[in-house]
Amino acid sequence: MRYRAPPATALATVRLDEFTAVYHRPSGATHLLVEPAPEILAALVEPLTLDELADRLAATYELAGDAGALVARVDELVAAGLVAPA
Amino acid sequence: MSDDAPPDDPGSTSRRALMLGAVGASAIVSIRPALAQTAGSVLTCSIPVPDPGRAGSWIAADGRTVPAGTKGAFPAGATFRGEDVRRALNGGQLPGTTYDRSRAYVNYIRRLQRGQGGFTCFASLQMPRG
Amino acid sequence: MRHAFAVRVGPASFRIGSAWRAPVEALADLYRDYPPATVPDFTVRLEPTRPWRRWLRPSVAIAGDFTLPEAAPLPLAQALLAAEMGMNLQMALGWRRHLLLHAAAVERDGRALLISGESGAGKSTLASLLATRGWRFMGDEFALLDPASGTLAPFPRPASLKNASIALAGEGRWGPLLEGTPKGDIRHRVPDRAAIDAMDRGATPALILFPRFGEAAAARAVAPSEAFARLTQASTNYQMLGEAGFVALTRLVRDVPAVAIDYPDTATAIALIEERWA
């Protein structure tokens, strides 16, 4: 199963502090995201499986936390309507 | 946000840590529509127990509506002012009720969904603390 | 409707129709310094709940362009409160030209203090008290944030003060005492003439305050994300404005510092506020 973020035109993003405010244009919903959600959204600019996502993130960051946490974060983004199965 | 550390350098500490968080934690706060909260300052309101669509039902101790006459359930058919419900939500008792009946009614109110009579009033009573 | 009254408050105009004469007379007196409305933005109607309730234990139902079906009617003696609630309802549900924040606002030197909080936090009392100390009263119920410019437009309707606050808020012109309303005893304090005459002059927000009454004095900075979340919950039309609301509110919390204060009495609150007002 691959996941992808919405296209850039679908989101308005404003960094507030450690939280990033995101307006999702298709749904009109507003969310406040904290690490690692914005980073996951950025990585999912192309469709990735969970393993590919973990690798992609690990290439840039020192991941602190286990695979279970990453799955939970992606599930949350799906539940919020910000990430969709590709 | 991004670093330039080469990926083939496993001992490197120059990459920023990315906290994935705990399985039970959350990285997203979704903003919910707030009309209900501010409507409370705009209006005095009341909550019917049960809502008119369920007139004649009784209320079980856990707040579900059940057929009239169900054992252990309470007859209903009253309307309560928002102020009284707010007090009951904070540990008081609804006027004109016994302790158990009040708890059943309060459980009914807590279960209200959008679209049911009294929901807007109920939601408006739960304003966030300052 | 037999009796009618029209008034403009800031950018919004109202026409209030009433089945009874007394509320219209009370409104005309309370709002006598305000400009009349020509073409109203909203209509509010004060109606009997049943035809015979016009005379028998008269009971006022609030109707208008926008209604909420669960509104409880009020006795005729509290019709001024019904009219205020009716106007609030029209703004809350129908106003789209600004992002509406459930907040009080006062201005000094062109800069505005926004006071946001739930009922009982002290918005109306603090705003009214600051108005007696050289600040211009811009409103106690709604702060109107212009999405294009980021400035606040005044909505300086008479402040609605409750119970103990009635004694606190000092001199000025007052409406009648409304006793035993669902919100307690209420009295409206008419803003001074200068504040009413300045109802078309906006101000740039400079500080956001989240007060909490009844605690020992304390103050802490509020991070922009927290201010953002709290203000979305204090807005009646954030969702309706869509992206314009998002842009307006994110800009507000990024540009304007926010502070939360706890205060045991209004004198302490005023001191905490004036300390932080640079």
Q: What is the Cα gyration radius of chain A?
A: 12
From the number of C-beta atoms within 10 Å of its C-beta (0-12, 13-18, 19+), residue C149 rates as exposed
Q: Which residues contact C97 (CB under 8 A, 6 or more apart)?
A: C11, C144, C146
Is the confidence at residue A74, as pLDDT, over 90?
yes
Segment (H or E) for C112: strand C111-116
> Mean pLDDT across the stretch C193-209?
97
Q: What does pLDDT average to over chain C?
A: 93
Q: CB neighbours (10 Å) of residue B91? A: 7
> Mean pLDDT across the stretch A3-15?
95
- Where does the pLDDT of residue B4 fall: very low under 50, low under 70, confident under 90, or very high at 90 and above? very low
Is the confidence at residue B103, as pLDDT, over 80?
yes
pLDDT at B129: 29
Lowest-pLDDT range of B14-18, C11-15, C22-26, C95-99: B14-18
Q: How far is B120 from chain C (nearest CA, A)?
A: 8
Global ipTM: 0.94
Is the confidence at residue B125, as pLDDT, over 70?
no
Q: Is B45 helix (H, G, I), strand (E, B) or coil?
A: strand
Is the confidence at residue B9, as pLDDT, over 80?
no
Q: Which of C35, C69, C73, C70 has the alpha carbon at shortest distance from C53?
A: C73
Residues of chain A in contact with residue C222, where contact means CB-CB under 8 angstroms, are: none
More confident residue, B43 or C244: C244
> Mean pLDDT across the stretch C134-158?
96
Q: How far is A65 from chain B (nearest CA, A)?
A: 5
More confident residue, C69 or C55: C55
Residues of chain A in contact with residue B25, where contact means CB-CB under 8 angstroms, are: 72
Give chain A's domain count: 1
Segment A14-44, tens digit of pLDDT: 999 999 999 999 989 999 999 999 999 999 9
Among C49, C70, C231, the residue to mutate for chain B (most B Cβ within 10 A): C70
What gap in Å lies between CA C208 and CA C222, rounded to an integer? Answer: 9
Is the confidence at residue C168, as pLDDT, over 50?
yes
Segment B33-69, tens digit of pLDDT: 765 445 555 556 778 888 877 888 899 998 888 998 8
pLDDT at B63: 87
Of the candidates A58, A62, A77, the beta carbon closest to that of B16 is on A62
Q: Which of A34, A26, A31, A28 has the alpha carbon at shortest distance from A7?
A: A26
Topology at the third CATH level for domain C99-277: Rossmann fold (3.40.50)
pLDDT at B87: 80
What gap in Å lies between CA C48 and CA C67, rounded to an integer? Answer: 15
Lowest-pLDDT range of A50-54, B5-9, B29-33: B5-9
Evaluate whether residue A86 is within a structural domain: no
B19/A76 Cβ within 8 A: no
Q: How far is A73 from chain B (nearest CA, A)?
A: 7
Q: Measuring CA to CA, how many Å separate A49 from each of A60, A63, A76, B27? A: 17, 17, 16, 20
What gap in Å lies between CA C151 and CA B70, rounded to an integer? Answer: 59
Segment C210-233, tens digit of pLDDT: 999 988 999 999 999 999 999 998
pLDDT at B74: 92
Q: Is B44 on the interface with A (CB under 8 A)?
A: no
* Domain residue spans of chain C: 3-94, 99-277
What gap in Å lies between CA C5 and CA C68, rounded to an integer? Answer: 22
pLDDT at B32: 79
Q: Which residues contact C101 (CB under 8 A, 6 or more apart)?
A: C114, C116, C142, C143, C144, C145, C231, C234, C235
Q: Is A35 on the interface with B (CB under 8 A)?
A: yes
Which pair of tokens denotes residue C142? 């709604």
Q: Is B79 helix (H, G, I), strand (E, B) or coil?
A: strand
What's the DSSP call for residue B115?
T
Is the confidence at residue A7, as pLDDT, over 90?
yes
What's the DSSP call for residue C72?
P
Q: How far is B96 from chain C (nearest CA, A)?
A: 18
pLDDT at A23: 96
Q: Which of C27, C2, C230, C44 has the alpha carbon at shortest distance from C121?
A: C230
Q: Is B42 on the interface with A (CB under 8 A)?
A: no
A59/B18 Cβ within 8 A: no
pLDDT at B1: 42
The residue range of the domain holding A67 is 2-81
Residues of chain C in contact with residue B41, where contact means CB-CB under 8 angstroms, are: 88, 102, 118-119, 141
Evaluate whether residue A56 is within a structural domain: yes
CB pairs under 8 A between B and C: 84
Q: Measuring CA to CA, how many Å separate A61 from each of A26, A52, C218? A: 30, 14, 40
pLDDT at B128: 38
The answer to whether B122 and B88 are in contact (CB under 8 A) is no
pLDDT at C157: 96
Residues of chain A in contact with residue C228, where contact means CB-CB under 8 angstroms, are: 16, 19, 21, 32
Give the residue ranges of DSSP H helices in chain C: 21-30, 79-94, 123-131, 164-168, 193-197, 224-233, 238-241, 243-255, 266-276
